[in-house]
Amino acid sequence: MKTLQEVQEFNRRKIICAVYGTENYEEALEKELTFGCIVIDLKHQFFGEKDPHKMTLVYDTGDGVYYFNHLRGNPFLLIHINKILDKERFQIIGKPLTLDRVLLALGELETDVSVCCYGSIRIGHEITNLPRWDLTKPTLEEQSEETQRAIYGLLGGENE
């Protein structure tokens, strides 16, 4: 059986690719680099702390510079980085996987998919009940493991 981390990575890849209509994850991640995209500073050079830190893209000047907000500490601390991100230094995570993005990805499946009433989803002629999406937790990774695994199965993931 896949670990929850493997399920989350599969879901992230499938959803981001589906949103941009591509099978190429690297290409889709490049398109994610707009307002709200999360990036990890792997070498944590800005803060001198021992753990990598998440930053979110808040502004793109359009002329070669990104501005990121450090997600810990001072909310007004902006970091300016050249647009070409060093892949050894930064890992692009992408935008949060919110319900609308999950539904977009499900809509891109090759079979006919529609959301029915009372939390059911129809794929082709088969109706499946989904675990509840907790609206107080906005992202897929914050949902219950049952919900994450259900989305994983709908996106084509298989547990051994």
Question: Alpha helices of the chain — where are they, by DSSP H?
Answer: 4-20, 25-32, 99-107, 145-154
- The model carries a pTM of 0.81
What pLDDT shows up at residue 4?
Answer: 95
What pLDDT shows up at residue 86?
Answer: 79
Where the chain has pLDDT below 70, the residues are 44-52, 71-78, 110-130, 159-160
What pLDDT shows up at residue 40?
Answer: 85
Four-residue CA torsion sign, 160, 23, 151, 125:
negative
Q: What are 145's two structure tokens?
A: 């493991």
The string of pLDDT tens digits covering residues 23-41 is: 999 999 989 988 898 888 8
| Dist. CA 44–CA 52, nearest whole Å | 5
CA 107 to chain centre: 16
